[in-house]
Each structure stands twice: as C-alpha cells, then as structure tokens.
Amino acid sequence: MNEFEKDVQCTRNDAIDSGVAFGASFGFFALMFIIATVIKLIGS
C-alpha cells in the first residue's frame, strides 16, 4: 500500500468539491452572458 494512503490529510468527499467548482464556474460564465446580453439590449 502507498504510504500516502495510510496518512490521509483531507477526508472530504471529492464530489462535493467538484460540484462547488462546477457551480462557481457556471455562475461566472452565466453572469458574463447576462452582462453581455444587457449591454447588447441597451446598445440597440
């Protein structure tokens, strides 16, 4: 067995971290899309 597997520093679930990262990136790009759409509507 690998020595790093015996002494685990963080026991959090990786799926939760992946979900948070996905949500943050999705929110960022959705915010960029909303801002661009508002600017386009104001400019027309």
- Banded pLDDT at 9 (limits 50, 70, 90): confident
In the chain, alpha helices (H): 3-6, 14-43
- Give tens-digit pLDDT for 10-27: 888 889 999 999 999 999
pLDDT at position 40 is 97
Does pTM top 0.85 for this prediction? no
Q: Poorest-confidence range of 3-7, 12-16, 27-31, 40-44? A: 3-7
Cα–Cα nearest to 29, from 21, 42, 18: 21
